[in-house]
Amino acid sequence: MLKGFRDFVLRGNVVDLAVAVVIGAAFGNVVDGFIAAFVDPLIALILGGAGEELAAIVFGGFPVGIFLSALVTFVLKAAVIYFFVVRPFSSLAAQVAPTPATPDDVKLLSEIRDLQQQQLAALRGQRSGDSSGR
C-alpha cells in the first residue's frame, strides 16, 4: 500500500503539477499586489471612490454586488496577466523560437521534384528545337 502511494507521489506528472500549483499561487500574489498597488488606485481616481461600494449593491434582495465585485476582480486579473505576461512572453518567444528543421523526407521529395522539373524543361527544349528545324 505504501509502495503504491510512493509511486504515485513520485511520478513526474504529480511533481510537475505540485510545482505548477505553488508557482501559480505565488504568481497570483504578484498579480494581486500589482492590482492593489497600481490598478485599484487608478480606478478609485477615475471613479472617485474605492471598490467597496460595488460589493454593497443589492438587487431584489440578492447581494449581486458580491458577484459583480468578483467579476471585476477577475477581469482585472485577466487583463494584467494578458498585457503584462502573455503578450510580452509571446513576442519574446516568437523572436527566440528557432525555425523547425525540414525533415529529410521533405528535402528528398523537394530534390526529386526539382530534378523532374529540370528533366521536363530539358525535354520541352529538345522538342521545340526539333520542330523549329523542320
pLDDT for 131? 58
Query: How do residues 66-125 score in pLDDT, each as one tens digit?
Result: 888 788 888 888 888 888 888 888 888 777 767 777 888 888 999 999 999 999 999 888
Q: Please, what's the b/e burial string for 56-78 (b: 16 or more CB within 10 A of its CB; e: otherwise)?
A: eeeeeeeeebeeebeeebeebbe
The domain locations on the chain are 1-50, 52-125
Q: And the C-alpha cell for 95?
A: 523572436
Q: How far apart are the first and last CA of the chain?
A: 93
CA nearest to 31, candidates 87, 98, 85, 77: 77
Condensed to tens digits (0 to 9), the pLDDT of residues 18-64 reads 888 888 889 888 888 888 888 777 777 776 665 566 667 778 888 88
Tell if the pTM clears 0.75, that is, is over it.
no
